[in-house]
Structure 1
Amino acid sequence: MTELSQTYRSHAQTRLIWALCIASMVIYINLYTVQGMLPSIAEHFDVSGAQATLVLSVTSFTLAFSLLFYAVLSDRIGRLAPIVVSLWLLAASNILLIFAQTFDDLLWVRLLQGILLAAVPAISMAYFKEQLAPSFMLKAAAVYIMANSMGGIAGRIFGGLMAQNLSWQSSMGLIFLVTLMGVALVTYLLPRKEIKPPVVKQKVSLMHKVKQDIDGFMFHLSDSQMRLAYAIGGLAFMMMVNQFSFIQLHIMAEPYGLSRFNATLIFLCYSSGTFASYLSAKWIMRYGSMPLFRVALCLMVAGTLLTLVDTLTAIVVGFLISACGFFLTHSCCNSFVAIRATSHRAKATSLYLCCYYLGASLGGPYLMLFWHEAEWNGVVVGSMSLLTLLLVAIWRLGIHQQQVIDVSKAS
């Protein structure tokens, strides 16, 4: 009987890993498909290419703050229901995209989708931690991060392919079908049983619960090192994800003249970041986060400057280098937050992801100003400004870390 029970538990854990990894791919395909379609969106809705980047920014904005909501909600009612309901509503929301008549209509739907997209990234790691045996956790985390990256790359390339060959309505119809099939598969795979949050027998008022949640968030926001880690992740993503938006406009123009689909192949440069993420755990254990933060910053500076060289090869190599630096930064931030958070861990992670996606939403309008002034050269100038702020944040975090080491040695 014990052996049968263990086999069932192992089967359920495997299903959960597969379900959340597929859910993650569905989320990031829906989030980033539009980034591969920016030129097509600009043409269809009669806006500039720079304005079209707002489609990604507004979604990242509502996604950022919704992460905090789902972190609290799932602690209250469990992990399964918010994931399943949000995914089915996400699939339904794609029907609205098919019938979007104006650019404003599109922005409003994408604003709504940002709320629905937040459930899976906000809940997944806590879900894994509660449902999986420790031996499954490392495997689950590694596969889940890989699924995130694969979903992001697939979504962008998929968007470029549709922009090249399909109309707007046909493209959104295809996204609806892909999402529907993915959500149905996730719903089938998710185990029906879950470990529910502990039931508190003592009656607690709603205001008291809200105060507890706010205190949990403030606990981390009052930590200067946590604030710096949040800033580092937000600034890095603010630059990186939006550089990929504007570089498409740059390489579709002369002297490069790439087609819409060929321009989206620049997103394959994310693969260097996927590789860096895979190795980052080993590097963090060997060298620590601070040296890797500095190396990552140097890679992002070098990669960004290399894109100023007037050849397609230099641009591709530059983005490969920058993506490596960015994902290394992201991995170090994740590790730093997870290790430093001794309590309210889910809230610490959701705050980091909130800053991360908030950076993405602010970066589009920010770099757009530089694009209007000097196109890609302007974007590089705007990016270097962000990297300067990133340098200051890393330097400040290093000072705090050194103070801790000095105090430890003195005692």
Structure 2
Amino acid sequence: MNGRISRADARRLIYGLSLASVVVYINLYLVQGMLPMLAEHFAISPGASTLILSVSSFSLAFSLLGYALISDAIGRFRPLIISLWLLALTNPLMLVVDSWSQMLSLRLLQGILLAAVPAIAMAYLRDKLPLPALIKAGAFYIAANSFGGIIGRLLGGFMAQHLSWVASVVLLSGITLVAVVISHRFLAPLSDASRKPINDALKVGSGAGRPWKGFILHLGNPQLRVFYLIGGLAFMVMVNQFSFIQLHLLEPPFGWSRFEVTLIFLCYLSGTLSAYRSGSAIKHLGVPGLLGLSLVLMVAGSVLTLLNTQLAIILGFLLSACGFFLIHACCNSQVALRATGHRAKASALYLCCYYLGASLGGPFLMPFWHQAGWAGVVYGSLIVLGVTAVFAWFALRRGKGAMPLPAYR
């Protein structure tokens, strides 16, 4: 820890990072609520529009590792705030792109910028806050993640329903700029950035490869690899099911509006609640038991949607979200608990696999969508969940014994 800070500064840090998190997840997930508008504006198929989330998730995933290295070398503030300002500057570029390939390239770039906050924020809090404050701050920050994701998707649906493409981009750019200015004002007095140039900070001299030692160490740990895979595969299903169900609900017999289809994202709230209660659940069920229950909920929820009624779809997504967030909370915390050192890098690897799963899910499920519509997406999802169950069984065999979740998870 770089030094104890006052309560007032602690609040500034928590509010600044949480607001930064909200704006990052708005920017990441807003396009998921705009899929019909994107398909219309760029004259592409609705299925192809789901790639917009995949490309940003892909570049975000691998960029997490780079930010983990850079922030350890030169401090947390500079890479975080520079990435936020660059994000604010790149949003208006959406007005000048005139092809789908250019739009995907821009989102690929933005994914790199979006990675800074999730890669750095928890390490920033750990540097500055004592443990009792860290527990509460972590809970507040994670709630901001969820809030930003929900607001981004709903805002995207509102834009698709009521605004033009130009007005949507202007509104997003304005929201991002205001949030970045406020976050900068909160965080600037707490800057911990050294003046050492980045290239010098990353030099390792005779210890060549030392910055990557933590990544190599964790990838060589079979227990950690299992949790990386489980989290990535579960998110591969969850986030992309939410993309394709919007396209399904736009079609007959449902005919929901562009904004109405984004209301399905409110089902995420069951996951927020289940993640909050996951600590007590793991004490009673243990890690293997909780993973097994979570997968059952995701499978049951997916199958329930095949009844193809509005009620069945809503209930199915409530069950799936509950199961997924239990998996996410369990895997995320187990990575932190089981890592024997370089914990920031262990968490960065988990998040890398997590978002890499999101990026691969769209291309994987798209052929199922084209062949059999929503039923095909469910069948493809069940294949992935079956593979996930194999890895969960591996965790049961190798990782016996319940390990309590940290309170801030």
Please report the TM-score for the alignment, with normalisation by the length of structure 1.
0.93
CA distance in 2, matches of 1:377, 1:135: 47
The within-5 A match list for 1:191-206 is 191-194=188-191, 205-206=203-204
| Partner of residue 306, structure 1 | 304
| Partner of residue 22, structure 2 | 25
Q: Secondary structure at 1:71's aligned position in 2? A: helix
Contact 2:294 2:323 in 1 (8 A): yes
Query: Is there any run of 5+ residues in structure 2 with no aligned partner, and where?
Result: 404-409
CA distance in 2, matches of 1:403, 1:148: 30
CA distance in 1, matches of 2:125, 2:15: 11
Contact 2:73 2:202 in 1 (8 A): no
Query: Is there any run of 5+ residues in structure 1 with no aligned partner, and where?
Result: 406-411
CA distance in 2, matches of 1:164, 1:208: 59
Going from structure 1 to structure 2, the CA distance change for 1:378 and 1:166 (only over 3 Å counts) comes to same
CA distance in 2, matches of 1:125, 1:148: 12
Please give the root-mean-square deviation of Cα atoms over the aligned residues, in Å: 2.1
How big is each residue's C-alpha offset from its partner over 1:229-285, in whole Å with a ceiling of 9 and x where there is no partner? 000000000000000000001011001011111111111110100111111123234
CA distance in 2, matches of 1:325, 1:276: 8
Going from structure 1 to structure 2, the CA distance change for 1:203 and 1:165 (only over 3 Å counts) comes to closer
AA partner of residue 327 (structure 1): F
| Partner of residue 223, structure 1 | 221
CA distance in 2, matches of 1:316, 1:280: 22
CA distance in 1, matches of 2:362, 2:74: 35
**Total equivalences in the alignment:** 398
CA distance in 1, matches of 2:201, 2:48: 51
CA distance in 2, matches of 1:385, 1:162: 34
Going from structure 1 to structure 2, the CA distance change for 1:15 and 1:274 (only over 3 Å counts) comes to same
Contact 1:99 1:169 in 2 (8 A): no
Query: Which stretch has the larger CA shift, 206-215 or 123-132?
Result: 206-215
AA partner of residue 386 (structure 1): V
| Partner of residue 408, structure 1 | none
Please tell me whether residue 54 in structure 1 is matched to residue 55 in structure 2: no
Within the candidate set 129, 138, 152, 1:141 is matched to 138
Query: Which stretch has the larger CA shift, 350-359 or 8-17?
Result: 8-17
CA distance in 2, matches of 1:95, 1:40: 17
| Partner of residue 272, structure 1 | 270
| Partner of residue 125, structure 2 | 128
Q: Secondary structure at 1:342's aligned position in 2? A: coil
Going from structure 1 to structure 2, the CA distance change for 1:186 and 1:396 (only over 3 Å counts) comes to same
Please tell me whether residue 114 in structure 1 is matched to residue 114 in structure 2: no
| Partner of residue 288, structure 1 | 286
Contact 1:130 1:195 in 2 (8 A): no
| Partner of residue 244, structure 1 | 242
Query: Which stretch has the larger CA shift, 182-191 or 360-369?
Result: 182-191
Contact 1:36 1:160 in 2 (8 A): yes
CA distance in 1, matches of 2:113, 2:155: 21
Going from structure 1 to structure 2, the CA distance change for 1:67 and 1:208 (only over 3 Å counts) comes to farther
Deviation at 1:205, TM superposition (A): 4.4
Please tell me whether residue 328 in structure 1 is matched to residue 347 in structure 2: no
Please tell me whether residue 234 in structure 1 is matched to residue 232 in structure 2: yes
| Partner of residue 33, structure 2 | 36
Contact 2:288 2:400 in 1 (8 A): no
Contact 2:230 2:331 in 1 (8 A): yes
Deviation at 1:72, TM superposition (A): 0.2
Within the candidate set 358, 361, 377, 2:375 is matched to 377
How big is each residue's C-alpha offset from its partner over 1:336-375, in whole Å with a ceiling of 9 and x where there is no partner? 0010012011110000000000000000000001001101
| Partner of residue 76, structure 2 | 79
Going from structure 1 to structure 2, the CA distance change for 1:256 and 1:207 (only over 3 Å counts) comes to farther
Deviation at 1:195, TM superposition (A): 5.0
CA distance in 2, matches of 1:343, 1:288: 23
Contact 2:293 2:323 in 1 (8 A): yes
CA distance in 1, matches of 2:112, 2:260: 31
